């Protein structure tokens, strides 16, 4: 039963959670990624979606970007690691959530005419106004900012979408809440339970945790993805 669609929520520095989660899936059930017809993402989730769609080794991107600064401003790093066939791999499969500045409407882009255009779309999706700078970047000549502002979990309304989020809530792959029946808030389609752990995670979205804490978040992502695979697949361990 092929997974049809995957979606990654925007989450800033908490994107390290996806490194753990996707490492687990690539290691134990790579078809989950390969068979997906669409991989959506907003903001840091768009970077994860791009890395998976393009087959870029997670470690390379990580080593050169996330620890030192927001995972938004590394044009050179992305261009350097884009495979030659990036456009063929990305077009139609990768879908990036953007927010158009002129009318604050959400735009999903999944067709790219050049490698630069692909990188521009990712930079726009990750650009938090004022946090990243004052003048928004452009994609095809139009100013866009962070896709999370208008749709932080693109494609989640499709029945067959498997959703990833580093915040405890109702996403398919996300941390388990320590207490049940907590109220939840919805931030542009992402379900986030109201508890102290999530408060820490939301804070860590904008202010990077210490390296030990980052490693722990990454491990949690691996563990949560493993639990999801165990609950949803009979033959995960043999690559199934």
| Cα gap 116→211, rounded to integer Å | 31
Phi-psi region of 92 (alpha: psi -120 to 50; beta: other; left: phi over 0): left
227: its two tokens: 């639990």
Q: Taking the CB of residue 65, how many other CB atoms lie within 10 A of it?
A: 19
C-beta of residue 76 within 8 angstroms of C-beta of residue 54: no
Helix (H) or strand (E) holding 5: strand 5-8
Question: Pairing mode, if any, of strands 94-100 and 38-42?
Answer: parallel
- What phi and psi values does residue 109 have, to the nearest 5 degrees? -115, 135
Q: What is the CA radius of gyration of the chain?
A: 17
Tell me the catalytic residues: 43, 146
Residues linked to residue 184 through DSSP beta bridges, in sequence order: 193
C-beta of residue 115 within 8 angstroms of C-beta of residue 153: no
């Amino acid at each position: 039963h092929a997974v049809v669609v995957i979606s990654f929520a925007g989450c800033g520095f908490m994107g390290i959670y996806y490194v753990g989660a996707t490492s687990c899936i690539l290691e134990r059930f790579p078809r989950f990624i390969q068979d997906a017809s669409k991989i959506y993402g907003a903001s840091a989730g768009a970077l994860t979606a791009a890395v998976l769609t393009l087959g870029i080794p997670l470690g390379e991107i990580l080593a050169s970007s996330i620890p030192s600064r927001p995972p938004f401003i590394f044009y050179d790093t992305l261009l350097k690691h884009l495979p030659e066939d990036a456009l063929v791999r990305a077009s139609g499969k990768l879908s990036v959530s953007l927010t158009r500045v002129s009318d604050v409407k959400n735009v999903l882009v999944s067709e790219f005419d050049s490698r630069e255009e692909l990188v521009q779309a990712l930079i726009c999706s990750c650009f938090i106004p004022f946090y990243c700078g004052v003048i928004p970047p452009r994609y095809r000549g139009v100013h866009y900012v962070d896709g999370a502002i208008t749709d932080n979990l693109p494609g989640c309304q499709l029945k067959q979408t498997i959703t990833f989020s580093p915040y405890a809530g109702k996403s398919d792959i996300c941390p388990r809440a320590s207490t049940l029946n907590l109220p939840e808030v919805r931030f542009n389609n992402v379900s986030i339970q109201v508890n102290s752990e999530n408060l820490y995670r939301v804070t860590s979205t904008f202010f990077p945790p210490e390296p030990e804490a980052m490693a722990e978040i990454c491990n949690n992502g691996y563990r949560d993805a493993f639990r999801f695979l165990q609950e949803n697949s009979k033959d995960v361990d043999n690559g199934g």
